[in-house]
Amino acid sequence: MSLSPLGPYGPPPGSGLAGASLAALGGARRAEQSVAQTAQNIAAYGATQAVVTGDALPEVPVVDLRDQANPVADQVNLMLAQRAYEANLAVLKTTDAMAQTTIDRLG
């Protein structure tokens, strides 16, 4: 995963504010997709169907996660996605401020 706020490739040369904004939006979408995939991985940990009989509470089986899951890697992925999303948001805020300054100066 690229930690660049503008994605793995960055904006095309000479693309200006619009290119930076589009690249940042793409990076934010990739971060969102990473969070969604990691959430699915976490939700699948030890997923079993609970059996409910009458008004008893469902029994929750104890599952050994060492062979089927990597919660540490998923936690790291969540942190990376959060930082990527924050970096892309910072780029969007900066390009917005630059565009507003340009508009103010032009009239």
- Which residues 6+ apart lie within 8 Å of 11 measured at CB? 19, 20, 22, 23
Tokens coding 77 = 């992925």
- pLDDT tens digits, one per residue of 75-104: 888 999 999 999 999 999 999 999 999 999
Report residue 71 as tokens: 């919660």
Q: What is the pLDDT of residues 5-15, one digit of tens each?
A: 545 555 555 57
